[in-house]
């Protein structure tokens, strides 16, 4: 087992491991892990509910350990993966804005193999898996949700499910956008609980696109338990990610959402 680096706070390191899942570098934070490197089964006999999380462009899987700490304290594991070209698979050319949809498409295509490798460890409950991400990672999550999947819930931040609103951004690639744009591919969307967090002043990913996406789900009867919370001015860079001085509120909303939808012993019954 690779040693957990010093960049993470001790409270996260003692519940964390670096793993490679289907060739993808991952940080696994699990309530059953202990500082001695062993699994100490507690809740669910060691098979924890889990969030598969994807970061944004130019970031890495270790970003935002406060998120992982809140979740593990709530009994929920996190598998945070490096996007193609990021973190332990560094390729600075691939991180350029105009290649965003290229690495997003690659990540969306890797998710199934990552989940299979996750479940092969025996550490996670295969009936209680959530998917999510911020910015580019959130795009990968929404793209993957447009076909049959095993996920019970999803949570995304500062991202969009309607790529047309990004036409004037460097990330916009017309061919890939037509192939991937979630709002254009909702035929197989399944109504699962979805938490959407966004900033009204986001300078990089227009909130109007995410509003339109949520409205499209609602119009098609696919919204299910969808929660969209909008923040005003927070002081975050470009008001795009992290939610600045309201970061704790955003993390708490995510934890509470996942506790409601992953910690129950059986899936919620819909009327």
> Is 153 part of a structural domain of the chain?
yes
pLDDT tens digits for range 17-67: 999 999 999 999 999 997 655 666 555 556 899 999 999 999 999 999 999
CA atoms 124, 217, 204, 230: torsion sign:
negative
**267 pLDDT tier (thresholds 50, 70, 90):** very low
> Is 14 part of a structural domain of the chain?
yes
> Is 161 part of a structural domain of the chain?
yes
> Is 1 part of a structural domain of the chain?
no
Which CATH number is 107's domain given? 3.40.50.1820
Please give the residue range of the domain that contains residue 182: 10-262
> Is 45 part of a structural domain of the chain?
yes
> Is 5 part of a structural domain of the chain?
no
d(CA 28, CA 5): 13
| Neighbouring residues of 3: CB distance < 8 A, sequence distance ≥ 6 | 18
Hunting for tokens 């999510």 — which residue is that?
Answer: 132
The H-assigned helical ranges of 184-232 are: 207-219
> Is 268 part of a structural domain of the chain?
no
User: Percent of the chain beyond pLDDT 70?
Assistant: 90
Q: Assess whether pLDDT exceeds 80 at residue 270.
A: no
pLDDT tens digits for range 180-230: 999 999 999 999 999 999 999 999 999 999 999 999 999 999 987 899 999
Count how many domains the chain has.
Answer: 1
> Is 270 part of a structural domain of the chain?
no
């Amino acid at each position: 087992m690779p040693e957990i680096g010093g960049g993470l706070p001790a409270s996260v390191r003692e519940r964390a491991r670096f793993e490679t899942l289907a060739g993808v570098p991952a940080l696994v934070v699990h309530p059953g892990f202990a500082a001695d490197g062993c699994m100490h089964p507690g809740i669910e006999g060691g098979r924890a509910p889990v969030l598969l999380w994807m970061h944004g462009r130019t970031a890495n899987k270790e970003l935002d350990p406060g998120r992982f700490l809140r979740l593990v304290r709530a009994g929920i594991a996190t598998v945070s993966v490096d996007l193609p070209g990021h973190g332990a698979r560094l390729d600075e050319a691939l991180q350029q804005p105009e290649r965003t949809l290229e690495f997003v498409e690659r990540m969306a295509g890797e998710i199934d193999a990552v989940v299979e490798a996750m479940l092969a460890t025996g550490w996670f409950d295969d009936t209680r898996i959530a998917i999510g991400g911020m910015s580019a990672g959130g795009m990968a999550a929404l793209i993957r949700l447009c076909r049959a999947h095993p996920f019970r819930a999803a949570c995304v931040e500062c991202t969009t499910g309607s790529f047309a609103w990004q036409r004037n951004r460097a990330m916009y690639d017309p061919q890939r956008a037509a192939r991937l744009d979630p709002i254009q591919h909702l035929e197989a969307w399944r109504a699962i609980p979805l938490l959407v967090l966004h900033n009204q002043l986001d300078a990089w990913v227009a909130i109007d696109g995410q509003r339109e996406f949520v409205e499209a789900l609602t119009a098609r009867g696919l919204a299910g338990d969808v929660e969209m919370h909008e923040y005003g001015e927070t002081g975050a860079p470009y008001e795009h990610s992290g939610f600045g001085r309201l970061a704790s509120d955003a993390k708490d909303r995510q934890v509470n959402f996942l506790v409601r939808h992953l910690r129950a012993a059986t899936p919620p019954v819909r009327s």
